[in-house]
Amino acid sequence: MIGLWNDDEAGAFCARYAPEHGEALALRVYTSRLLGRDPSLVLHGGGNTSVKLVRRDLLGRDVEVLCVKGSGSDLASVEPAGLPAVRLQPLRELRQLPALDDRQMVSAVRGALLDSAAPNPSVEALLHAFLPHTFVDHTHADAILVLTDQPDPARHVYGAFGDDVVLLPWIMPGFPLAKAVADAFERAPRCRGIVLAKHGLFTFGATARESYERTIELVERARRYVHTELGGQPSMLAGEPPPPPPEQRRALLARVLPCLRGALATAVETPFGRDFQRVVADARTADDLAAFAQHEMARPLCTSNPITPDHVLRTKGHYLWLSRTEAVDAQVVHRELAVYESHYRRYYDACAASLGAPMDTPKPVVIVVEGLGPIAFAATPKAARIAADIAEHTLRVKAAAHALGDYVPLDDHELARMEYWPLERAKLGAATSPPPLQGQIALVTGAAGAIGCGVVEALLAAGAAVFASDVDAARLAVVGERFAAAKDRLATGVADLTDADAVQAMFDDCVRRFGGVDCVVPNAGIAYASPLESMDAARFEHTFAVNSTATMLVLRAAAPVFRAQRTGGSVVVQASKNVFAPGKGFGAYSASKAAALQLMRIAALELCELGVHCNAVNADAVFGDDEVPSLLWQEVGEERMRTRGLDAAGLRAYYRDRSLLKVPVLPRHVGEAVVFFAARRTPTTGAVLPVDGGLPEAFPR
């Protein structure tokens, strides 16, 4: 491990933050981010840092304060406001107490805040306060956990560090741990760090750089010790069989994910009928993880407790391990999930019920599939990614710890105390009402056009994860950039929908990215204007291939995913006003769109047994904007303007004013219609919803 301190970067942080906050806090922010950017040290909000400073209070007095990471902040992106200032003297005085419960501790720490509106300081604020050092760093470094998740952690910790560190046994965070760490340092004031068994490492120093570089030094010493003890072997289990080839893994993943995801969905009764709370997936299939997943020790290690209890909120204590054949058999998956849930309920009753908190969902968060690796499931892609990141590090640490000696984690009772500890659960934030499509995965074709972009926008706003596809890579990139703020929930893929293999590959990519498909929007279409008398047969066939045959191929590829998930879903075909009111010179477009609509009706008849609602949106005169214009109007707009003697603005006004409502139809309007169907708030299938401002001649009949 190489330290990342850089004088130029440190100077830039000082230039940015020191004028308002002082150099010490500026450098504290810098080194906090150095720690946070290394996932082998901390993951997703883990760890904490502090600095002791002098600040002026409201009366103009200089007071010593502790700026400590606020609960819920992430070291990787922390700002000065994420290190709230707490008066130091009142905190230090608490050390003389024989005991202090959590409620009293939180009240005392909050009462010492310089700014009462600041976020809650870390639950380990007293630990930082009781240590005398100006800078204190706390990490959950992988290499340290390998040493301490052992039957005899002292053997390995002192073998790696000698008397440069003090080792403490596991102690629940809070007042007792704060006192124990302070006492340990006072017994060994020359130590360079304090190791907490099954938890992590504290380092300290007079400067931000000294404290940070002590962390790096000690973690590197731990890493070298493990490397030497294992004879230079990689961190995964020794003697593992080689993993399946990458293409085999990719193919298996596309089969496994819909089955697992469907089994993990929870049936719920809503005011609109029965539906499902769905989850999305994040799979990790690197070579070493895939090798781990098929090793004979994979199952017992997966079903052991976490490498540090801090991870339990994100991943639960145990992972579920499934063989390849089990993972693609829905009946077996449901059976294994029932066994897992029964085990979790017994764990809760035995270890957590007395704590007074209601039981969390008993379903697993991480499933490890033989020959693939860990797959995390959560309500949002971000939550799934966090859990998958933790699972990836967990498997590597467990493998190394097992190879070093014998992996021994925290016991169930201590784990339950952490899992149901109110101060730990507070890190998840207050529960809020989820958006209507949270957990749903939508696949939108023709996403680089005006309507497709509007559909993507509305689905993202409703909370869905979206796989956006188009044949035009450059235009699709523009759509991706437009919704960059939702990058966790948006993936894009280029596909020629007239190619059956490309359509199947598109679905497989969507499944591998998010776990499945719930809402399919066949939206891709092209326009070809020509009177029948002079129509080019090849262009007619191509129009049918894109507008109709491609719709069939999309529906054909969607059906097996719906069948594997068994959680219903929706299909929303993009029809056209021309289906009901065709215009002269638009025979190829009108006929091909009519065929697509008829395919929707057939899908409604055939997919109803799977609970899939199939409907269509009948849009008209959707122009888009300069960045994402309508391809149809780019094709036929010039001819329409010449025919009617209008310019571009006049053409838009013409189509607006010919409708009953005299309003422009925007891409987002079409998207909202798709969201209406995807939300399944009415028992509707086989229907057509006009989004055209009102055209009597195009009323569906």
Cα separation of 627 and 613, whole Å? 33
Element containing residue 573 per DSSP (H, E):
strand 569-574
Distance CA 528, CA 455 (A): 23
Asked if residue 424 has pLDDT above 90, the reply is: no
What pLDDT, on a 0 to 100 scale, did the predictor assign at position 251? 97
Share of the chain above pLDDT 90, in %: 85
Question: If pLDDT is split at 50, 70 and 90, which confidence band does 237 have?
Answer: low
Higher pLDDT, 174 or 655: 174
Amino acid letter, 511: V
Residue by residue, DSSP assigns 488-515 as GGEEEEE--TTSHHHHHHHHHHHHHHHS
Q: How far is CA 29 from CA 2, 26, 77, 219, 488, in A?
A: 19, 5, 9, 21, 26
- Residue 678 in tokens: 């995807």
Q: Which residues contact 671 (CB under 8 A, 6 or more apart)?
A: 454, 455, 456, 457, 458, 459
Residue 645 has pLDDT above 90, yes or no: no
pLDDT bracket for residue 236 (50, 70, 90): low
Angle at 222 between CA 220 and CA 227, to 5 degrees: 95
> Residue 23: its pLDDT value, please?
98
Q: What percent of the chain is helix, strand and coil (3-state, nearest 5)?
A: 50, 15, 35
What CA–CA distance (Å, rounded) separates 208 from 51? 8
Give the number of C-alpha atoms closer than 13 A to the C-alpha of residue 415, restricted to the C-beta side. 23
Least reliable range by pLDDT among 196-200, 421-425, 447-451, 492-496: 421-425
- Residue 186 and residue 678: Cα distance in Å, rounded? 62
Cα 668 to chain centroid distance, Å, stands at 25
User: Per-residue pLDDT tens for 338-369?
Assistant: 999 999 999 999 999 999 999 999 999 999 99
| Cα–Cα distance, 586 to 635 (Å, whole number) | 12
Q: 3-state secondary structure string, 42-97?
A: CCCCCCEEEEEEEEECCCCCEEEEEEECECCCCCCCCCHHHCCEEEHHHHHHHHHC
Are the C-beta atoms of 95 and 130 separated by less than 8 Å? yes
Do the domains 441-692 and 246-423 match in fold? no
Quote the CA–CA distance of 519 and 514 in Å, as a whole number: 13
Tokens 């422009």 belong to residue: 664
Q: Map residue 205 onto helix, strand or coil.
A: strand
pTM of the model: 0.93
CA distance 178 to 160: 25
Q: For residue 437, what are the contacts with CB-CB under 8 A and spacing of at least 6?
A: 459, 462, 463, 464, 519, 675, 678, 679
Query: Which of 138-152, 612-626, 638-652 shows the lowest per-residue confidence on average (mean pLDDT)?
Result: 638-652
CB count within 10 Å of CB 701 equals 5
pLDDT at 653: 87
Answer whether residue 239 shows pLDDT above 70: no
Q: Which uninterrupted H or E stretch holds 345?
A: helix 330-347
* DSSP H or E stretch at residue 565: helix 550-565
Most confident option among 215-229, 627-641, 649-663: 215-229
User: Structure tokens of 132?
Assistant: 């005398």
Distances (CA, A) of 241 to 151, 295, 631: 27, 7, 52
Over 90: is that where the pLDDT of 621 sits?
no
Query: Could you tell me the pLDDT band of residue 619, with boundaries at 50, 70 and 90?
Result: very high
396 within 8 A of 235, measured Cβ to Cβ: yes
List beta partners, residue 442. 466, 519
3-state SS assignment for residue 277: strand
Q: Which CATH class is domain 246-423?
A: alpha beta
Mean pLDDT of the chain: 94
Distance CA 424, CA 3 (A): 30
**Hey, is 198 helix, strand or coil?**
coil
Tens-place pLDDT, residues 61-94? 899 999 999 987 899 999 999 999 999 999 999 9
553-582 residue pLDDT tens: 999 999 999 999 999 999 999 999 899 999
pLDDT score at 648: 78
463/677 Cα distance (integer angstroms): 14
pLDDT band at 161 (very low <50, low <70, confident <90, very high): very high
Question: Computed over its alpha carbons, how large is the radius of gyration of the chain?
Answer: 30
Amino acid at 29: V
Catalytically annotated residues: 589
Give the Cα separation of 444 and 468 in Å (integer).
Answer: 5
What CATH number belongs to 7-229? 3.40.225.10
Q: What percent of the chain has pLDDT over 70?
A: 98
d(CA 213, CA 194): 15
195-208: pLDDT as tens digits: 999 999 999 999 99
Nearest in space to 511 (alpha carbons), one of 263, 245, 283? 283
SS3 668: helix
Tens of pLDDT along 4-32?
999 999 999 999 999 999 999 999 999 99
Domain boundaries defined on the chain: 7-229, 246-423, 441-692
Structure confidence at residue 421 (pLDDT): 93
Phi and psi for 624 in degrees, rounded to 5? 80, -160
Mean pLDDT of 181-187: 97
Domain 441-692 classification at class level? alpha beta
Residue 377 has pLDDT above 80, yes or no: yes
Output 237 or 667, whichever has higher pLDDT.
667
CA distance 571 to 75: 42
> pLDDT value at position 45?
86
Tell me: pLDDT of 625 over 90.
no
Alpha-carbon distance of 403 to 474, in angstroms, equals: 49
